[in-house]
């Protein structure tokens, strides 16, 4: 078990329950599980569940299992199994023992289903899907008993065995629990336990043609593994009745230390969707390039974008755990990564919209090597070599012919600025093309201002960044905007209408030569521009913008 989160002990209602269970002696140890269905890649919502399950177990010196809830072969794939394992490990958590699969309990589930049938608590039902819906009733009206509800036990066992043996067509019948068709909880009106699917499963191949429903398999999987606290999201609140009903009716599990289910609120993040189904649609419909597209709120997308595992854990800690559903402000996620990178990211200079600056009084052919701090607040990180010569690149945005007002701190004609880590320069004139676009700015520099202020008391307020032209390296910058135009795209089922058509902007500019071998996923602060990291999926020098230096959304 990872110890990264050990020191964090913010209390929440789940920890209160655990504390009570430990002090009453109901449990002597804590075991949780994270149970993803391998039907897509994990997203930031899963990170909340992972941090809660693994973090809570770790806080109590307990264990957390990683269990794939793989009971629906039609949507699942081994690609997702592998991606999920990788994401959980990257987030910094270790599961107890081997990875678990619900499918490895299929034999046991089957045995427990026969136990329920033998007790007269389950029956094979041949109502069609439409009939079943009609018989179920509504929130206001009780349901009606299925005509198959009174089939005798022997007959039900025979029918269920025939289902298992492939003797019925897909969809012809299901196994249902015999609970209460007039229950005020719709999910208790004889829920389906098993259905027929002639599909090849990624773990069990063609061994089975009947597959358990979540409500049947999940509680039994928890009980088999000795899970003490089964934490899930609020939409399963009503289903807790089935969870308890099934375990209480199985001889192996009807005891006081059987698992209990507790629900917490899902994470909903602004400008994102936390539904694997909808994320898959974004990939399938080419709105993004892949599951790990840096705009995706998937763990692999955030990672590729440059988010660190510790910033995601910090975010999950900040948002806390409660029973109130809400929409989480995306700036909380962004401030977590900013806080992390501000301390650790090496500084560098990159020019994203380059124009040339020619320093007319600087000797031709001369190149100076200068030392710049890697982190101005952390001398121990050392220095890096940068260059200076007669021709450098600055950003288009940093020059205006006429300063718009007195507060303007960048370069303008007859105005001085400091070039970061080097000299003070003053612009004199510029060249532009036929369309009026500025191409080259000419200036002079003050040779006595390297690392010091002008001696005659001139005040130079502005600082701009640059890259020396002969040593500059071409790089591509990918600047991301929100993927959705609406803060709560989950409201509509058709996500495509709220997709931001300008969520990716590609720029070609220059970086310092020392970034030629920049590692993927290692973040840099490009001074004045934001935090960036090299893209892990591109061969050339491509940098993803992780986040700006400050929160600009709310301005
Ligand atoms: P999706 O709709 O994305 O498929 P899911 O709940 O069906 O979500 P699972 O793979 O079944 O996805 O989820 C694994 C675990 O992660 C579950 O315990 C689930 O409750 C939890 N989880 C999923 N989404 C969120 C979320 N947005 N916030 C918190 N926990 C979540
Ligand atoms: Mg699910």
Predicted local confidence at residue 49, as pLDDT: 98
E strand residue ranges, 314-381 = 327-328, 347-348, 350-351, 354-359, 367-373
All residues at 6 or more sequence positions from 64 whose CB lies less than 8 Å from its CB, including other chains: 1, 31, 32, 33, 34, 53, 54, 56, 57, 58, 93, 95, 96
Encoded tokens for 40: 């897509």
- From ligand 1's centre to the CA of 275, what distance in Å? 8
266 lines ligand 1 (CB under 6 A): yes
* Annotated catalytic residue, options 37, 114, 131, 486: 37
Rounded CA-CA distance 130/144 in Å is 14
Among residues 6, 76, 3, which one has the least CA distance to residue 41?
A: 76
Encode 38-70: b = buried (16+ Cβ within 10 Å), e = exposed: bbbbbbbbbbbbbbbbbbbbbbbebbbbbbbbb
Does position 3 have pLDDT exceeding 70, yes or no?
A: no
The number of the ligand nearest the C-alpha atom of 274 reads: 1
Rounded CA-CA distance 55/63 in Å is 10
Q: pLDDT (tens digit, 9 = 90+) per residue, 368-408?
A: 999 999 999 999 999 999 999 999 999 999 999 999 898 99
The number of the ligand nearest the C-alpha atom of 35 reads: 1
| pLDDT confidence tier of residue 555, bands split at 50, 70 and 90 | very low
Among residues 486, 483, 467, which one has the least CA distance to residue 475?
A: 467
In the numeric block, the tokens 């089939």 are attached to 151
| pLDDT confidence tier of residue 9, bands split at 50, 70 and 90 | low
Greatest C-alpha distance within the chain = 104
Q: How far is CA 51 from the centre of its chain?
A: 12
All residues at 6 or more sequence positions from 408 whose CB lies less than 8 Å from its CB, including other chains: 400, 415, 462
* Inter-residue contact 174 to 125 (CB < 8 Å): yes
Q: pLDDT (tens digit, 9 = 90+) per residue, 204-241?
A: 999 999 999 999 999 999 999 999 999 999 999 999 99
Residue nearest to atom 8 of ligand 1 (CA): 275
Nearest atom within ligand 1 for CA of residue 69 = 11
Q: pLDDT (tens digit, 9 = 90+) per residue, 25-41?
A: 999 999 999 999 999 99
- From ligand 2's centre to the CA of 68, what distance in Å? 11
Put simply, whether the predicted model's pTM sits higher than 0.85 gets the answer: yes
Q: pLDDT (tens digit, 9 = 90+) per residue, 52-82?
A: 999 999 999 999 999 999 999 999 999 999 9
Alpha-helical (H) ranges within 323-445 are 330-344
Predicted local confidence at residue 493, as pLDDT: 72
49 lines ligand 1 (CB under 6 A): yes
71 lines ligand 1 (CB under 6 A): no
Q: pLDDT (tens digit, 9 = 90+) per residue, 113-164?
A: 999 999 999 999 999 999 999 999 999 999 999 999 999 999 999 999 999 9
| pLDDT confidence tier of residue 553, bands split at 50, 70 and 90 | low
Mutate-to-test residue for ligand 1 from 65, 72, 80, 233, highest number of ligand atoms within 8 A of CB? 233
Rounded CA-CA distance 217/102 in Å is 7
* Inter-residue contact 306 to 546 (CB < 8 Å): yes
Rounded CA-CA distance 410/401 in Å is 11
For residue 170, give the 3-state DSSP assignment: coil
- From ligand 2's centre to the CA of 275, what distance in Å? 9
Q: pLDDT (tens digit, 9 = 90+) per residue, 234-275?
A: 999 999 999 999 999 999 999 988 999 999 999 999 999 999
Phi, psi of 318 (to 5 degrees): -65, -40
* Annotated catalytic residue, options 276, 426, 478, 534: 276
The number of the ligand nearest the C-alpha atom of 263 reads: 1
| pLDDT confidence tier of residue 554, bands split at 50, 70 and 90 | low
Average pLDDT over residues 277-293: 96
Does position 6 have pLDDT exceeding 60, yes or no?
A: no
E strand residue ranges, 103-205 = 122-125, 174-177, 192-196
> What average pLDDT does the structure give for the chain?
95
Q: Is 276 a catalytic residue?
A: yes
Nearest atom within ligand 1 for CA of residue 35 = 14
Residues, CB-to-ion distance under 5 Å, ligand 2: 37
* Annotated catalytic residue, options 266, 280, 507, 528: 266
- From ligand 1's centre to the CA of 52, what distance in Å? 12
CA 453 → CA 40, 375, 447, 450, 460, distances in Å?
57, 21, 11, 8, 8
Q: pLDDT (tens digit, 9 = 90+) per residue, 494-525?
A: 788 899 999 999 999 999 999 999 999 999 99
């Amino acid at each position: 078990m990872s110890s990264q989160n050990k020191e964090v002990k913010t209390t929440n209602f789940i920890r209160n329950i655990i504390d009570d269970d430990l002090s009453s002696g109901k449990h002597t140890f804590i075991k949780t599980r994270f149970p993803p269905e391998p039907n897509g890649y994990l997203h930031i919502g899963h990170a909340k569940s992972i941090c809660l399950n693994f973090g809570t177990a770790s806080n109590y010196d307990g264990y957390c299992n990683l269990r794939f809830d793989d009971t629906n072969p039609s949507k699942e794939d081994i690609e997702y199994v592998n991606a999920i394992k990788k994401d959980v490990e990257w987030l910094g958590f270790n599961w107890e023992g081997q990875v678990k699969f619900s499918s490895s309990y299929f034999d046991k589930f089957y045995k427990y289903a026969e136990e329920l049938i033998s007790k007269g608590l389950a029956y094979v039902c041949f109502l069609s899907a439409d009939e079943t819906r009609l018989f179920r009733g509504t929130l206001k009206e009780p349901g009606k008993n299925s005509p198959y509800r009174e089939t005798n036990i022997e007959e039900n066992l025979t029918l269920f065995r025939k289902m298992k043996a492939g003797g019925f067509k897909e969809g012809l019948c299901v196994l249902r629990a015999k609970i209460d068709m007039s229950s005020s909880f719709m999910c208790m009106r004889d829920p389906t336990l098993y259905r027929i699917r002639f599909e090849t499963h990624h773990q069990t191949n063609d061994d089975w043609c009947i597959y358990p429903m979540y409500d049947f398999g999940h509680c039994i999987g928890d009980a088999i593994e000795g899970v003490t606290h089964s934490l899930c999201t609020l939409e399963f609140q009503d289903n807790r009745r089935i969870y308890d009903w099934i375990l209480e009716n199985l001889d192996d599990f009807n005891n006081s230390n059987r698992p209990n289910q507790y629900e917490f609120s899902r994470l909903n993040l602004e400008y994102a969707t936390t539904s694997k189904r909808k994320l898959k649609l974004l990939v399938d419909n080419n709105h993004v390039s892949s599951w790990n597209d840096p705009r995706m709120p998937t763990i692999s997308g955030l990672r590729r974008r440059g988010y660190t595992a510790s910033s995601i854990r910090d975010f999950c800690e900040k948002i806390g755990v409660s029973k109130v559903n809400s929409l989480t402000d995306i700036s909380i996620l962004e401030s977590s990564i900013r806080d992390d990178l501000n301390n650790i990211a090496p500084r560098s200079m990159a020019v994203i919209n380059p124009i040339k600056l020619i320093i007319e009084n600087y000797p031709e052919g001369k190149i100076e090597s200068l030392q710049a701090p890697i982190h101005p607040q952390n001398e121990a990180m050392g220095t890096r070599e940068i260059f200076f010569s007669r021709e450098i690149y600055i950003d288009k945005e940093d020059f205006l012919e006429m300063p718009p007002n007195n507060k303007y701190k960048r370069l303008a004609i007859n105005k001085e600025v400091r070039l970061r880590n080097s000299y003070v320069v003053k612009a004199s004139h510029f060249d532009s093309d036929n369309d009026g676009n500025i191409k080259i700015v000419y200036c002079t520099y003050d040779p006595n201002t390297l690392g010091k202020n002008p001696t005659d008391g001139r005040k130079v307020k502005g600082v701009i960044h640059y890259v020396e032209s002969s040593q500059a390296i071409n790089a591509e910058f990918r600047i991301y905007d929100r993927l959705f135009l609406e803060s709560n795209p989950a409201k509509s089922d058709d996500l495509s209408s709220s997709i931001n058509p300008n969520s990716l902007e590609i720029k070609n500019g220059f970086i310092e030569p020392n970034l030629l071998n920049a590692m993927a996923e290692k973040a840099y602060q490009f001074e004045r521009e934001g935090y960036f990291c090299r893209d892990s999926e591109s061969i050339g020098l491509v940098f993803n913008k992780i986040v700006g230096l400050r929160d600009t959304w709310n301005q």
